[in-house]
Amino acid sequence: MIRRVDDLARLTDDVRARAKVPDLQTDMARWMPLPAPASISELCRAETLIGCSLPPAITHIYSAVANGGFGPGYGLVGIGGGRRGFSDWQGQRHCEDQYVLLRQDAGITWPAHLVPLCHWGCGIYSCADASRADAPIFTAFGDALYDDPPNAVMPANSTFAEWLQAWADGEDLWEALHSALPSA
């Protein structure tokens, strides 16, 4: 059950505690050492490419815990540096680079300021609306971007802080994501 999060310090402590446990650092990837926390210059680089300031909960977690490498799915991808995670034949990318790539893809209409943060595999991303201070989470389904655009990006009905707190509390966010699909 995703619950409201008002205390970023508690969220940070909970996320840090889970991220320190190798078997719990991510839901799907093998353990790797966490990168350093995001620097102000890394966050500013990302904000420049995205075209808006990143929401406070995102900048706080990335600058207080690590610049990616922990969290749901294969883990949060780094912003402006840190852990790369979005990959294809062109190489691996950070969140803002994936955002730019999606915005420039003439075959799809990627929403402005919707930043991919987490990769679940098979082209499924958890994304945050960076234009809103509460950073609502959306799920993007890669194939549907081309085949079924109206159903390609769906709200996850939580903010970034609520979503990450649910992960830190041990909730199975993959199951929650899967059960929310119209065909599930």
Render pLDDT for 3-57 as a digit per residue (tens, 0 to 9): 566 688 999 999 999 999 999 999 987 788 999 999 999 999 999 999 999 999 9
Model confidence pLDDT, tens digit, residues 81-110: 999 888 777 788 999 999 999 999 988 999
Contacts for 109 with CB less than 8 Å, ≥ 6 apart: 149
Q: What is the pLDDT at residue 181?
A: 62
For residues 2 and 161, what is the distance between their CA atoms, to the nearest angstrom?
A: 10
- How is the chain split into domains, by residue range? 8-176
Mean of the per-residue pLDDT values for the chain?
90
Residue 151 confidence (pLDDT) = 85
Q: Write the DSSP assignment of 71-113 as a string of letters.
A: BSTT-BPPSSSS---EEETTEEE-HHHHHHHHHH-TTS-PPTT
Distance CA 85, CA 61 (A): 17
Q: What is the pLDDT of residue 165?
A: 95
Q: What's the CATH number of domain 8-176, 3.40.640.10, 3.30.930.10, 3.40.1580.10, 1.20.120.530? A: 3.40.1580.10
Question: What is the per-residue pLDDT across 149-171, written as a single tens digit (0 to 9) for each?
Answer: 888 899 999 999 999 999 999 99
